[in-house]
Structure 1
């Protein structure tokens, strides 16, 4: 006798979706996450650019500056009210009526509230010879007709005496918020003389020349001074520097 077979049905697979469906879900999730990450990065870069432009605009009264806000992400820095690092460079700048060249400054822990001081500042700039002449004229009595120059990589004062060219080599030193320069060598024409062989009125005028830098923001001090062909390169450092 023939017996009817019991109908066979596919057994359920514990509710698991087909492999192709699982793959599609994973890929979609990855795409969504990547889209969110790219969007966040793009938003951060926009905020970074706008912040740099805002800072550069606030510096327009001093000169045409390039500004770079360093560190990522900027959005969280802004939310915290403080930027990690701001790098500022300028070929030329004028601060408190004093001309500078080759300005390169890094500001650390920069508050978004400009009324608060900057955490730390490391900066370098060149005081051109013409600026040195102006500053020395305000704080020292140089012999008439003498001006700053650079000779063989050393800072010097040049002028004339007894109808011959006079070149006085000077040694600049950092002293807090002042630059102090003293005569080190003297050449009249082609001959070199020791300091004690020159008239006292001249040697006294070229000794202990103080160039006062009190016009700089409070908190900044000189750390090093070197002569360049363009003038005197000064390095500055400070903590709790007020920019107002």
Structure 2
């Protein structure tokens, strides 16, 4: 099987996206989807390609976080079951309806979360207790993720961190849970539209698998304040970009 020169770019995209995703708990789907959509591919095909690659990248990422003991088992199961249900529903809906109407409002929510995370990173905001309705969060994060090819990390990680979650275990747990959500979403896409764009899938997969162990190592050793600051800035940029794209163009 011969691939063109773009295949190597897909590897680099997967490597960079997974390095950020594994270290900060978000961005693989958002980065990959934004580039693929910019190439003119249809949303359903983009989300299917990204999620197929993520089955493997999230598997390696989750195993790496488990090795470095970055996972909260109770939080993992509370996120995983509801997230998989939301992901399956989102994937099924995307193959039949455009799912962009609610996304600008989700990014307004993320904008608020980014401000809370940045305030927390500078010691100006310390939540009294952690998020209680984790299954509800998991459901909507899975739903958003499947409907747009990226969103599990920004919504789940940002909400948990803004609610007082510890950076290392929050990011590790969200990454590990993403494997189950991604597997459920990918199976739904496979049963509805089949496997498409193999070159893209393999490129993202190879780059992501290479980067996953390094990212898990970084999140264990980088100070929490630094992680919170970087996550806050990243979510701020993501939310502002998508809000602008939705209402200005």
Greater fraction strand: 1
- For the aligned pair, the TM-score class normalised by the smaller chain equals under 0.3
Please identify the structure whose Cα radius of gyration is greater.
1
Whose helix fraction is larger, Structure 1's or Structure 2's? 2
Structure with the larger RCO, 1 or 2 (CA within 8 Å, 6+ apart): 2
